[in-house]
């Protein structure tokens, strides 16, 4: 737990603050602070992905015809909905069903933060490998 450095954020900006945090984490064992490297990278990437997704008009992608493999955890991690209220209600297909015709959903155990760690990441890897092999086999006959 630490207070948000609002003055520093206003002075140097979000990018500089994220760089400082990255440098701190690269020179310390994040596990000492109760954080795994996988979770930290996932949170960083998720933040960036959500900024991009929030600005997209998904209807523009409706004509894209590609298979999609979607991994879903049992739920969000503690505090996630308080941080991002729009995650309070999520469609079972994550909203992808309206634009994806070939959608396969894999239900994962645990909360959202369990995904980048074992044993859940092993489940993800297994499904991805099998799914890719199946898609390759299916395209060989075409």
pLDDT tens, 78-103?
Answer: 777 777 777 778 888 888 888 888 99
Percent of the chain with pLDDT over 70: 88
Average predicted confidence (pLDDT) for the chain: 81
CA 99 to chain centre: 19
Question: Angle at CA 17, nearest 5°, toward 20 and 73?
Answer: 95
pTM, 2 dp? 0.62
For residue 121, what are the CA distances in angstroms to 35, 49, 57, 60, 118?
16, 19, 30, 31, 5
Name 102's Cβ contacts closer than 8 Å, sequence gap at least 6.
65, 66, 67, 68
Query: Radius of gyration (Cα) for the chain, nearest Å?
Result: 18
E strands of the chain, at which residues?
68-72, 103-107
- Structural domain spans, the chain: 61-140
What is the per-residue pLDDT for 33? 67
Question: What string of DSSP letters covers 85-104?
Answer: GGGGS--TTTTGGGT-SSEE
Could you report how far apart the first and last alpha carbons of the chain are, in Å?
56
Is 2's pLDDT higher than 80? no
């Amino acid at each position: 737990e630490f207070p948000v450095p609002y003055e520093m954020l206003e002075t140097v900006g979000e990018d500089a603050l994220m760089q400082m945090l990255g440098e701190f984490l690269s020179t310390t064992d994040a596990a000492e602070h109760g954080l795994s490297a996988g979770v930290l990278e996932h949170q960083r990437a998720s933040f960036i992905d959500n900024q991009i997704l929030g600005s997209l008009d998904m209807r523009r992608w409706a004509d894209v015809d590609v298979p999609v493999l979607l991994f879903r955890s049992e739920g969000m991690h503690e505090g996630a909905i308080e941080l991002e209220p729009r995650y309070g209600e999520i469609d079972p297909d994550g909203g992808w069903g309206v634009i994806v015709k070939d959608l396969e959903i894999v239900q994962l155990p645990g909360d959202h933060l369990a995904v980048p760690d074992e044993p859940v990441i092993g489940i993800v890897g297994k499904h991805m490998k099998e799914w890719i092999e199946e898609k390759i086999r299916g395209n060989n006959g075409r």
